[in-house]
C-alpha cells in the first residue's frame, strides 16, 4: 500500500490528483517579463515569479471578502496578470496594458506552458510507487493539449478540464467526478494545488487531503501541508503546515 509522508503524518493513499496551472505547468514568466520590457520596464523573471506568488494571495483575499467564494477562473485572468505585474514592480497603468496584451496572447496560446522543475519525474515516481495519478484543472478546454505539449499527459491516468466538465474548483463536484473515475474514496486521495482558496479548500470540501505547492515560500502558515517542489512528494519532505 503506497504511503505519503505529510509532516508528521503518514497517509495510506490510493491516488494523488494535481492541479495543472501553477502546479504542473507554470505561467510563462519570461513572456510576461518580455511584455513588460516592451512597455519600458526592466523586469526580471524572478520578480515575475515572486509577483505571481503575491497574486495567489490576492485571489485568496478576494475569496475571503466574498464569503469564501472565488470569482470564476476566466473572469480573473486579466486581473490576475495585472496583479502579478504590479507585484513585480510595474506601475498600475502599464501593468493593465501588459495584462491585456498577455490575455490576448493567452487566448491564442496557453501561457501556462512551462513544466515545473521535476514535474515528469515526480509523476513517474508516484506511479512507480503504486499511486493512481491524475489532474483536475480549472481550464478553458485546452488542458489536455497543454499537458501533451509539455510531455506530461502520458504520465496522468485521468485529466479533468473544468470547461468540459461544466463545473470548476472549489466546487467539490469536480473532485468527486475524478474520484469516481478512479473508483477511489476521497479519504484515500490527496490533491496538490497552488491556490489555497481554490485548491486546498475545494479538495477538503470533497473529503480529500489538500497539499499546497509554494515554490517561493510566500504563503503564511496554513492548515494543510506545503511543499516547495514536486519532487518532495517522492521523498517525504513536506514543509511545516503551521
List, for residues 9-54, the tens digit of each pLDDT value: 788 899 999 999 999 999 999 999 999 999 999 999 999 999 999 9
pLDDT bucket at 228, cuts 50 / 70 / 90: very high
Q: Are 100 and 93 in contact (CB under 8 A)?
A: no
Apex 160 CA angle, 83 and 234, nearest 5? 80
Euclidean distance between CA atoms 182 and 64, whole angstroms: 32
Q: Are 150 and 25 in contact (CB under 8 A)?
A: yes
**What is the dihedral angle through the alpha carbons of 22, 63, 73, 118, rounded to the nearest 10 degrees?**
10
Euclidean distance between CA atoms 149 and 65, whole angstroms: 37
Lowest mean pLDDT: which of 5-9, 51-55, 79-83?
Answer: 5-9
Residue at grid coordinates 516547495: 228
Helices and strands (H, E) in the chain, number of each type: 9, 10
Q: Which domains does the chain have, with CATH numbers?
A: 3-25+114-234 (3.40.50.1000), 29-110 (1.10.150)
- For residue 189, what are the contacts with CB-CB under 8 A and spacing of at least 6? 13, 14, 15, 16, 17, 179, 182, 208, 209
Residue at grid coordinates 467526478: 177
Nearest to 19 by CA among 145, 149, 129, 174: 174
pLDDT in the model for residue 69: 64
Q: Are 152 and 127 in contact (CB under 8 A)?
A: no
Does the pLDDT value for residue 90 go beyond 80?
Answer: yes
Residue 59, Cα to own-chain centre: how many angstroms? 13
Nearest to 172 by CA among 203, 208, 138: 203
Write down the pTM of the prediction: 0.93
Does the pLDDT value for residue 236 go beyond 70?
Answer: no
Q: To the nearest whole number, what is the mean pLDDT of the chain?
A: 92
Maximum distance among all alpha carbons in the chain? 55
Q: What is the mean pLDDT of residues 144-155?
A: 98
Euclidean distance between CA atoms 43 and 90, whole angstroms: 8
Q: What is the pLDDT of residues 161-219, one digit of tens each?
A: 999 999 999 999 999 999 999 999 999 999 999 999 999 999 999 999 999 999 999 99
Does the pLDDT value for residue 240 go beyond 90?
Answer: no
pLDDT bucket at 72, cuts 50 / 70 / 90: confident
Amino acid at each position: 500500500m503506497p504511503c505519503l509522508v505529510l509532516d508528521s503524518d503518514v497517509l495510506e493513499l490510493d491516488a494523488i490528483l494535481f492541479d495543472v496551472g501553477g502546479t504542473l505547468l507554470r505561467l510563462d514568466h519570461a513572456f510576461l517579463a518580455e511584455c513588460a520590457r516592451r512597455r519600458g520596464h526592466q523586469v526580471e523573471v524572478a520578480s515575475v515569479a515572486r509577483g505571481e506568488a503575491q497574486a495567489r494571495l490576492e485571489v485568496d483575499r478576494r475569496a475571503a471578502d466574498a464569503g469564501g467564494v472565488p470569482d470564476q477562473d476566466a473572469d480573473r485572468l486579466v486581473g490576475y496578470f495585472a496583479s502579478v505585474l504590479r507585484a513585480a514592480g510595474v506601475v498600475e497603468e502599464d501593468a493593465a496594458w501588459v495584462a491585456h496584451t498577455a490575455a490576448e496572447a493567452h487566448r491564442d496560446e496557453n501561457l501556462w506552458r512551462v513544466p515545473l522543475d521535476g514535474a515528469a519525474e515526480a509523476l513517474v515516481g508516484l506511479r512507480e510507487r503504486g499511486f493512481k495519478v491524475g489532474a483536475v484543472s480549472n481550464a478553458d478546454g485546452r488542458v489536455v493539449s497543454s499537458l501533451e505539449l509539455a510531455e506530461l499527459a502520458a504520465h496522468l491516468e485521468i485529466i479533468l478540464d473544468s470547461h468540459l466538465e461544466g463545473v470548476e474548483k472549489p466546487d467539490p463536484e469536480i473532485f468527486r467526478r475524478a474520484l469516481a473515475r478512479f473508483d477511489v474514496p476521497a479519504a484515500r486521495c490527496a490533491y496538490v494545488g497552488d491556490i489555497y482558496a481554490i485548491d486546498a479548500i475545494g479538495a477538503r470540501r470533497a473529503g480529500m487531503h489538500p497539499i499546497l505547492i509554494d515554490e517561493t515560500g510566500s504563503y503564511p502558515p496554513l492548515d494543510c501541508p506545503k511543499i516547495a517542489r514536486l519532487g518532495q512528494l517522492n521523498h517525504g519532505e513536506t514543509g511545516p503546515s503551521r
